[in-house]
């Protein structure tokens, strides 16, 4: 039988950070819904995230050249896992409580592992 490593205080801090940040993200989505179209909200959200990630990658000096097959894979992943997924959830947020949506959305991590 494998012996599990004990969680450190840093592990718990990392977990709490993720839980809090995801919790606040769903509260923000709740307040975004209804102001503008869900598609516009998603466009701004991912445009802002892309700019931040490109800046972060540039500061780190990460390689940013990929093959056309890589770009097609990134586009498919982005379309299905992020854009379509978020579009459906933003539309659902107009009628369902954000807490329920966050629980359902958290199940995506189990599906992504497969």
pLDDT, tens digit, for every residue of 36-46? 888 888 888 88
Number of Cβ within 10 Å of residue 38's Cβ equals 20
Quick check: 24 and 93 in contact, CB under 8 A? no
pLDDT of residue 66: 92
Euclidean distance between CA atoms 19 and 31, whole angstroms: 19
Q: Is the pTM of this model over 0.85?
A: no
Higher pLDDT, 114 or 31: 31
Q: Name the range with the highest mean pLDDT among 21-30, 70-79, 81-90.
A: 70-79
pLDDT, tens digit, for every residue of 2-13? 777 788 899 889
Check pLDDT > 80 for residue 106. Answer: no
């Amino acid at each position: 039988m494998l012996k599990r490593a004990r969680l450190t205080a840093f592990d718990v801090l990392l977990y709490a950070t993720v839980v809090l940040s995801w919790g606040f993200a769903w509260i923000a989505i709740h307040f975004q819904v209804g102001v503008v179209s869900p598609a516009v909200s998603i466009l701004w959200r991912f445009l802002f995230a892309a700019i931040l990630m490109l800046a972060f990658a540039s500061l780190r000096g990460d390689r940013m050249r990929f093959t056309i097959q890589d770009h097609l894979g990134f586009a498919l992943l982005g379309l299905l896992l992020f854009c379509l997924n978020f579009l459906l959830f933003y539309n659902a947020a107009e009628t369902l409580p954000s807490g329920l949506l966050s629980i359902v959305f958290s199940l995506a991590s189990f599906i992504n592992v497969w």
